[in-house]
């Protein structure tokens, strides 16, 4: 008995510890671009999160309202907070403010109407406070403090009446220590301090411009001690004309330039009679931009740098302020250089350093002398475009040795860190703020099938010559094929998923995992992302120049895979046609002339094309050969939903209203959901446990209209037939918070939507208790509620929505709808459905959870409205996969497809089928980009990563060797046996 037991123990020790069929593929098949947004120059800096340590982190509050800390050594995000997402989308337009607390482990942010203090190392909120009005400036009061006492904060607000309110907040808890109200006729601009005073700088209307108004306040009581005006109305006509207001320095200044940018005017705050005129030297061409850089620490030397730029060159001058006399003198100047360049200031104690960045070199100088402390040539891995702005950190390593690293924002919207002239890393922050995306197939050259077809239609001799030439031409690929043979052999026996794709190339794979995602951002840039290479950015293109504060509103993206081109249409009528594989412009971008509300891909006698639709729902006339064949659903100027048909008159086709849907009085349409363009149905019925069939209501011409009433707190949903405009089903909910997200999705024979309100009262069950909360409602449509019954249509092969029966005035066939509600723990901001190639795989409902910064994939079985209520399922129901209904639907962490990743600011989720029926590709876009592969019915048509191919091959080889060895022995035994019997 010992031998079998030993063999059993040996066998068990060889087996893996986990016997699951498929290993967890988290962080292997998915990818994420964890983004912040474009860093702003006034909210980006290096700061020590722990005062006792020498290491620093890079902090920024981006243009999208994302506050984050980045490891300057690797470029990885340490922590981040989506401030604009919690305080309203409009807050991001204000830019926000971020300041470090020098000597402490903290940073302070202000955006919208909220001020928060954060732990600089962990990103945890120390305190937060909400005020009336909008933030216009934020400063931390520097100076000596009692041990253990946090530094106070100055915050400047503008209320609804445009009055400036300056508040001093206690650094320990954010409570108001004092507040000062400015004049209602002044525009609050900025706040500054020195060792003994607080200065409130406002813009006072004077004539056609503004005068600078400086109010001096006592830092302890907040009472006004002095006030004066500077005559600047001839030069300052908008807040942007004020170039600089210093803060927290030994001698804070306010500066602006005259109209011609020939003279810089500077006033030291607190000295009303001293207005210094500093001449700006001429450059190659007119000066187009003047920038000032100065330290922000009271112990730093009162020095500042003036950077002048033209279209062809740039230069700088360094000035010193004499604290005793209040005079400003030029210390030295930095030479004029051709091209673009930027400067940044960095202070350590009293020392002030200026870093000059150009396309070719990096230079560090001290503010006290013009001598160059360090010079390094620029070594970049790729061209990131012109340098826009940046921040730097200078470290003195020895007596005459310095090191510098700079975080620079470039014209290609990349955030690049340069360490001693060499590129250390870059972050594609321009990819953030995506507003639209679409999947695309990787274009491929002419296939073999097309070549063989061409040869088949030619005469035998020419076909033979063509084939010989083709084979000779294919010999050029023979060396590469032979080089790949070892890798192909190893990939067939080694475990895991192996790809033969070379870095930097686009190649289709056998499973359909390698696809392109075309992503358009709100800043007017378009990206091509390779889903098969962990979201690698293949190309980027600056499509349009979007003004500061505006957003590119993309109305539609259409990918023509057969031609390999992509069309993008914007809200202002701008039109872009690019090559899918490279991002090159096929034609010059058209900026458009008329606004566009939406765009639709339509079929016409001349083929498929992209039809723009105006803001009033009128697409306008089109050539008769391009007239859409089917009904187009649009929204009118007043929000009504219309169905349009095109009638041909002469050489033109004109849209005609086929039907019109107007919600009841007091309601407005918020969303119109249609079935996905690719929505195959594998089965026309649902087989029950007793082998009967419930036939699905499969109408391809359906839309789900959402209408809400803000006054009545109601939400209604209408299922419309797009051919006739008939209402096939409707339901209404009361007690709905219309300010909360209301989203919906429609596919196959079911639809789902989510809202916050009273529990649905007209469901198929009364098991739900009276309550309020977030809900998800699922409705499934059948031809009849009776098994094996096809409803009023019976076995009719053809059906018309306009004439459902030969009998006149007969109502259309209404689906039998089963509905069920579930309470869910949080709001759903977006819904979409997985797609597979043939529709055999069970669909999965993908929901975006903004509160959790996650995306959950809810299996269709969990939302089945036929789940038995108040009882356990019968044997036949259990055979169908039904289980007992529970009113509360918890979000199981195992259903989160983003796993531990936090995906913030998601605007939409798109899906596309792979060549494998089991797999659907998913891409979420917004501030972050996230992609993955999901298998709602598990990966039934592909081997998992845990499958040991090497073990299988070894077993087959061992059996072959055994057969080879034992075969002669068996033959010898058989021959010997015959001789012995004879």
The pLDDT value recorded for residue 811 is 65
**Does residue 488 have a pLDDT over 80?**
no
| Predicted confidence (pLDDT) per residue in 415-438, tens digit | 999 999 999 999 999 999 999 999
CA 788 – CA 201 distance, rounded (Å)? 79
pLDDT at 753 over 90: yes
Spatial separation of the C-alpha atoms in residues 193 and 926, rounded to whole Å:
39
Using 50, 70 and 90 to split pLDDT, how confident is the model at 7?
very low
**Extents of the domains making up the chain:** 444-493, 663-794+812-833+856-898
The lowest-confidence range among 699-713, 720-734, 789-803, 816-830 is 789-803
- C-alpha closest to that of 622 among 650, 594, 587: 650
- Do 169 and 145 meet the contact criterion of CB atoms below 8 Å apart? no
What is the spatial distance between Cα 929 and Cα 906, in angstroms, rounded to a whole number?
Answer: 8
Q: How far is CA 75 from CA 328, 493, 640, 817, in A?
A: 40, 37, 49, 53
Q: How far is the C-alpha of 366 from the C-alpha of 370, rounded, in Å?
A: 7
d(CA 433, CA 37): 7
Determine the pLDDT at residue 508. Answer: 83
The tens digit of pLDDT for each residue in 371-407 reads: 999 999 999 888 999 999 999 999 988 888 899 999 9
Q: Are 285 and 276 in contact (CB under 8 A)?
A: no
First to last CA, the chain: 40
**Calpha distance 797→803 (Å, rounded):** 14
Mean pLDDT is lowest, of 152-156, 587-591, 899-903, for 587-591
What's the pLDDT at 25? 67
Look at the chain and count its residues: 982
Of 24-33, 519-528, 534-543, where does mean pLDDT reach its minimum?
A: 24-33
The least confident of 148-152, 918-922, 947-951 is 947-951
Please state the pTM of the whole predicted model.
Answer: 0.89
pLDDT of residue 269: 93
Average pLDDT over all residues of the chain: 88
- Give the helix ranges, DSSP H, for 322-459: 448-456
Confidence of residue 200 (pLDDT cuts 50, 70, 90): very high
The pLDDT of residue 95 is 76
817-868 pLDDT tens trace: 999 999 999 999 999 999 999 999 999 999 999 999 999 999 999 999 999 9
Phi, psi (5° rounding) for residue 964? Answer: -65, -40
- State mean pLDDT over 80-90: 68
**DSSP sequence for 959-971:** HHHHHHHHHHHHH
Q: Is the pLDDT of residue 297 over 90?
A: no
pLDDT for position 196: 87
More confident residue, 51 or 521: 521
Tens digit of pLDDT for each residue in 673-719? 999 999 999 999 999 989 999 999 999 999 999 999 999 999 999 99
For residue 124 the two structure tokens come to 């945890």
Res 150 pLDDT > 90: no
Q: What are the beta bridge partners of residue 891?
A: none
Is the predicted pLDDT of residue 806 greater than 60, yes or no?
A: no
For residue 937, what pLDDT band results from cuts at 50, 70 and 90? very high
pLDDT score of 739 more than 50: yes
Residue 350 clears pLDDT 60, i.e. is over it: yes
CA 296 remoteness from chain centre: 34
Chain centre distance of CA 901: 14
Mean pLDDT of 592-620: 91
188 vs 199: CA distance, rounded Å? 12
Residues 6+ apart with CB under 8 A from 795: none
- Spatial CA neighbour of 902 closest among 962, 848, 825: 848
Q: Does residue 23 carry a pLDDT above 90?
A: no
pLDDT at 808: 57
Average pLDDT over residues 336-345: 93
Residue range 657-672: average pLDDT? 94
Q: How far apart are CA 632 and CA 476, in angstroms?
A: 51
């Amino acid at each position: 008995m010992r031998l079998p037991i030993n063999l059993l123990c040996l066998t068990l020790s060889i087996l893996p510890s986990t016997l699951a069929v498929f290993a967890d593929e988290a962080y292997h098949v998915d990818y994420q671009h964890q983004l912040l947004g474009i860093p702003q120059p006034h909210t980006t800096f290096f700061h020590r999160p722990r005062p006792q340590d020498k290491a620093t982190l890079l902090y920024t509050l981006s243009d999208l309202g994302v506050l984050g800390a980045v490891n300057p050594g690797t470029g990885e995000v340490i922590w981040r907070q989506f401030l604009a997402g919690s305080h309203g989308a409009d807050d991001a337009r204000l830019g926000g403010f971020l300041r470090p607390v020098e000597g402490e482990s903290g940073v302070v942010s202000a955006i919208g109407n909220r001020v928060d203090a954060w732990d600089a190392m962990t990103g945890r909120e120390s305190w937060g406070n909400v005020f009336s009005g909008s933030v216009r400036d934020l400063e931390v009061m520097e100076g000596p403090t009692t041990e253990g006492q946090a530094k106070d904060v100055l915050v400047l607000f503008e209320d609804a009446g445009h009055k400036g309110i300056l508040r001093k907040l206690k650094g320990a808890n954010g409570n108001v220590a004092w507040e000062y109200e400015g004049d209602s006729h002044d525009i609050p601009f900025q706040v500054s301090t020195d060792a003994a005073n607080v200065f409130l700088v406002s813009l006072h209307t004077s004539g056609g411009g503004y005068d600078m108004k400086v109010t001096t306040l006592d830092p302890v009581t907040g009472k006004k001690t002095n006030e004066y005006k500077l005559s600047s109305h001839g030069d300052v006509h908008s807040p942007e004309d004020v170039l600089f207001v210093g803060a927290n320095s030994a001698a804070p200044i306010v500066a602006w330039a005259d109209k011609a940018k020939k003279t810089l005017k500077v006033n030291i705050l607190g000295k009303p009679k001293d207005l210094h005129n500093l001449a700006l030297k001429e450059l190659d061409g007119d000066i187009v931009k003047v920038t000032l850089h100065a330290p922000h620490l009271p112990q730093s030397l009162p020095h500042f740098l003036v950077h002048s730029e033209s279209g062809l060159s740039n230069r700088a001058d360094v000035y010193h302020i004499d604290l005793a006399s209040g005079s400003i003198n030029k210390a030295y100047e930095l030479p004029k250089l051709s091209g673009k360049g930027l400067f940044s200031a960095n202070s350590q104690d009293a020392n002030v350093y200026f870093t000059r960045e150009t396309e070719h070199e990096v230079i560090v100088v001290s503010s006290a002398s013009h001598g160059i402390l360090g010079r390094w040539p620029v070594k970049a891995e790729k061209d990131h475009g012109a340098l826009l702005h940046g921040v730097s950190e200078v470290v003195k390593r020895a007596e005459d040795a310095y090191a510098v690293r700079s975080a620079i924002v470039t014209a290609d919207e990349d955030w690049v860190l340069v360490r001693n002239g060499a590129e250390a890393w870059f972050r594609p922050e321009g990819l953030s703020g995506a507003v639209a995306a679409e999947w695309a197939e990787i274009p491929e050259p002419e296939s073999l099938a097309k070549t063989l077809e061409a040869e088949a239609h030619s005469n035998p001799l020419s076909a033979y010559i063509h084939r010989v030439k083709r084979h000779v031409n294919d010999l050029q690929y023979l060396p590469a094929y032979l080089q790949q043979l070892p890798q192909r052999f190893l990939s067939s026996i080694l475990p895991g998923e192996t790809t033969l794709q070379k870095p930097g190339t686009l190649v289709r794979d056998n499973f359909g995992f390698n696809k392109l995602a075309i992503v358009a951002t709100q800043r007017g840039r378009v990206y091509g992302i390779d889903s098969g290479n962990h979201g690698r950015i293949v190309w980027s293109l600056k499509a349009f120049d979007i003004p500061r504060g505006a957003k590119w509103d993309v109305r539609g993206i259409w990918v023509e895979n057969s031609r390999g081109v992509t069309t993008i249409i914007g809200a202002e009528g701008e039109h872009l046609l690019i090559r899918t594989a490279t991002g090159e412009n096929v034609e010059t971008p058209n900026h458009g002339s008329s606004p566009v509300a939406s765009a639709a891909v339509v079929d016409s006698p001349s083929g498929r094309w992209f039809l723009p639709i105006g803001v009033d729902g009128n697409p306008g006339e089109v050539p008769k050969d391009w007239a859409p064949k089917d009904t187009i659903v649009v929204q009118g100027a007043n929000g009504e939903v219309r169905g349009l048909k095109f009638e041909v008159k002469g050489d033109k086709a004109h849209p005609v209203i086929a039907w019109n849907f107007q919600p009841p009085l007091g309601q407005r349409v918020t969303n119109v959901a249609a079935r996905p363009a690719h929505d195959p149905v594998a089965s026309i019925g649902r087989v029950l446990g007793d082998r009967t069939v419930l036939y699905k209501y499969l109408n391809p011409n359906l839309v789900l209209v959402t209408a809400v009433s803000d006054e009545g707190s109601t939400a209604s949903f209408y299922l419309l037939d797009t051919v006739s405009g008939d209402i096939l089903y409707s339901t209404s909910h009361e007690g709905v918070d219309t300010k909360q997200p209301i989203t919906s999705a429609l596919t196959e024979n079911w639809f789902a939507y989510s809202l916050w309100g009273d529990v649905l009262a007209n469901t198929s069950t009364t098991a739900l208790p009276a309550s309020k909360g977030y809900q998800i409602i699922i409705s499934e449509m059948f031809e009849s509620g009776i098994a094996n019954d096809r409803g009023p249509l019976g076995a009719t092969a053809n059906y018309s929505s306009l004439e459902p029966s030969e009998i006149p005035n007969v109502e259309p066939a209404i689906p039998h709808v089963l509905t069920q509600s579930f309470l869910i723990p949080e709001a759903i901001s977006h819904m979409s459905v997985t797609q597979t190639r043939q529709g055999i795989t069970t669909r999965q409902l993908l929901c975006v959870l903004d509160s959790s910064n996650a995306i959950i994939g809810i299996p269709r079985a969990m939302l089945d409205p036929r789940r038995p209520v108040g009882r356990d399922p019968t044997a036949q129901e259990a055979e169908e996969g039904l289980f007992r209904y529970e009113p509360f639907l918890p979000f199981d962490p195992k259903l989160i497809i983003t796993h531990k990743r936090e995906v913030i600011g998601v605007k939409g989720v798109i899906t596309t089928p792979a060549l494998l029926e089991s797999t659907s590709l998913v891409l979420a876009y917004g501030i972050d980009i996230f992609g993955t592969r999901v298998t709602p019915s598990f990966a039934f048509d592909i081997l998992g990563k845990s499958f040991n191919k090497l073990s299988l091959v070894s077993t087959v080889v061992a059996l072959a060797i055994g057969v080879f060895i034992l075969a002669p022995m068996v033959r010898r035994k058989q021959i010997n046996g015959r001789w012995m019997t004879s």
